[in-house]
């Protein structure tokens, strides 16, 4: 068996509780015994058993996370690793670890969460996306379990600490950027409408058009899970409309790359024939041709603030509900240009 607190206590000639106090760096312990105990720990190569500690102290110093299931589109693009990196960084700073599981279905995912929460494996949870009707959120809310959502909750906004971009404004600005370049025929290429982020951005797009007195056209709005094949068709259809768009807003750089390829096949050049603004500003966006004008939403920070704030909440149970808005920024590159008058 491994070396325990008792072994250390024996060697240092103190009680186990004293050792425990030394570990916790309790103030009311003499320097002398502190040294004595530390020495014994060193000599024995002692390391606390964290399960025992968690059991006794009802805290785990770990944050729970549910990964998007394999096969989820999310995985093919850098959002997930980057946000994870941010989460991990924030956790690491406060000496928290991460505990993750996957769920293939919504049911499995919920089960995974229940297991973590009721199984006392984690002190808090970070949720990576908010569905329109989210059982996980209801569950956590009901149990009053600390969690932070990355993204905007569909409901109960006032009760949920969340970190998000101002996706409405971000998309509005992206659209306005195109409008200011003279574009009136601007199409929206977005993802799954069940995701709140898509809804928000769509609204921002619509607002920008409306503000500019531009008529909304249903056929200019596309929702595709796509990477590869899926979207190709949609883009082709879009471009063969009677009045094809002269500009596109695309909700993700990776999608934009797919769009770029389809346009290339169609012999349409960017930005000469059509302008594009996309989102996320991942490394990719500056490496493709043409480099993409893209809205940087600070993915890393989204994750970093999520774990940072979750930990605050864990450690101080009457921390107020917060809404943290991570700033975005339009990074101009070469995929947009002024609409030439015809």
Provide the binding-site residues for a second copy, judged by CB under 8 A. Answer: 2, 47-52, 54-55, 60, 62, 67, 70, 75-76, 78, 80-82, 84-86, 88-89, 91-92, 97-102, 104, 114-116, 118-121, 227-228, 254, 257-258, 261, 264, 283-284, 287-289, 300
- Choosing among DNA, a second copy, none, which partner's interface includes residue 121 (Cβ < 5 to 8 Å by kind)? a second copy
- Residue placing its CB nearer to a second copy in the complex, 220 or 300: 300
Shortest reach from residue 76's CB to a second copy, in Å: 5
CB atoms within 10 A of CB 340: 9
CB < 8 Å & 24+ apart, contacts of 33-36 = 36/12
Measure the CA–CA gap between 81 and 22, rounded to whole angstroms.
Answer: 38
Shortest reach from residue 212's CB to a second copy, in Å: 33
Cβ contact 307:63 at 8 Å: yes
Q: Nearest-CA neighbor of 219 among 201, 239, 200?
A: 239
Residue 287 in contact with DNA, rule: CB under 7 A: no
Measure the CA–CA gap between 296 and 237, rounded to whole angstroms.
Answer: 29
- Residue carrying structure tokens 């569950």: 139
User: Largest alpha-carbon pair distance within the chain?
Assistant: 91
- 40-59 residues in contact with DNA (CB under 7 A) are 46, 48-49, 52-53, 55-57
- Residue placing its CB nearer to a second copy in the complex, 7 or 166: 7
Residue 173: is it exposed, middle or buried by C-beta count within 10 angstroms (0-12/13-18/19+)? Answer: middle
Residue 61 in contact with DNA, rule: CB under 7 A: no
- Choosing among a second copy, DNA, none, which partner's interface includes residue 29 (Cβ < 5 to 8 Å by kind)? DNA
What backbone torsions phi and psi does residue 288 show, to the nearest 5 degrees? -85, 170
Strands 293-296 and 329-331, bridge-based pairing: antiparallel
Measure the CA–CA gap between 253 and 140, rounded to whole angstroms.
Answer: 33
- Choosing among DNA, a second copy, none, which partner's interface includes residue 85 (Cβ < 5 to 8 Å by kind)? a second copy
- On the CB side of 165, CA atoms within 13 Å amount to 26
- Residue placing its CB nearer to a second copy in the complex, 74 or 325: 74
Q: Which stretch binds DNA (CB under 7 A): 10-18, 85-93, 248-256, 309-317?
A: 10-18
Residue 30 in contact with DNA, rule: CB under 7 A: yes
Shortest reach from residue 36's CB to DNA, in Å: 8
Residue 14 in contact with DNA, rule: CB under 7 A: yes
Tokens of 99: 């505990």
Shortest reach from residue 237's CB to a second copy, in Å: 20
Interface with DNA by CB under 7 A: which residues?
A: 1-2, 4-6, 13-18, 20-21, 23-24, 26, 28-30, 32-34, 46, 48-49, 52-53, 55-57
């Amino acid at each position: 068996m491994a070396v325990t607190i008792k072994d250390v206590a024996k060697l240092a000639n103190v009680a186990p509780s004293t050792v425990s106090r030394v570990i916790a760096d309790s103030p009311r312990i003499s320097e002398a015994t502190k040294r004595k105990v530390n020495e014994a720990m060193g000599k024995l190569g002692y390391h606390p058993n964290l399960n025992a500690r968690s059991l006794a102290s009802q805290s785990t110093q770990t944050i729970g996370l549910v990964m998007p299931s394999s096969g989820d589109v999310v995985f093919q693009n850098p959002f997930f690793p980057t946000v994870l990196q941010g989460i991990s960084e924030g956790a690491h700073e406060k000496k928290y670890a991460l505990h993750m599981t996957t769920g293939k279905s919504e049911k499995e995912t919920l089960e995974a969460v229940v297991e973590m929460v009721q199984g006392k494996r984690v002190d808090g949870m970070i949720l990576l996306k908010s569905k329109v009707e989210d059982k996980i959120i209801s569950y956590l809310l009901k149990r009053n379990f600390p969690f932070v959502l990355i993204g905007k909750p569909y409901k109960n906004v006032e009760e949920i600490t969340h970190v998000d971009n101002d996706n409405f404004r971000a998309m509005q600005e992206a659209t306005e950027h195109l409008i200011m370049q003279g574009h009136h025929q601007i199409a929206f290429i977005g993802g799954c409408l069940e995701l709140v982020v898509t809804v928000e951005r769509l609204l921002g797009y619509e607002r920008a058009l409306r503000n500019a007195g531009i008529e909304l056209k249903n056929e200019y709005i596309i929702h595709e899970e796509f990477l590869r094949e899926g979207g190709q068709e949609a883009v082709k259809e879009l471009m063969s409309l009677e009045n094809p768009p002269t500009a596109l807003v695309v909700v993700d750089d990776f999608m934009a790359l797919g769009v770029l390829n389809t346009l290339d096949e169609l012999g349409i050049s960017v930005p000469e024939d059509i302008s594009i603004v996309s989102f996320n500003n991942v490394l990719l966006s500056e490496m493709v041709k043409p480099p993409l004008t893209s809205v940087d939403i600070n993915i890393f920070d989204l994750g970093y603030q999520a774990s940072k704030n979750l930990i605050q909440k864990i450690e101080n149970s009457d921390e107020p509900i917060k809404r943290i808005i991570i700033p975005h920024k339009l990074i101009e590159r070469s995929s947009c240009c002024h609409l030439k008058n015809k």
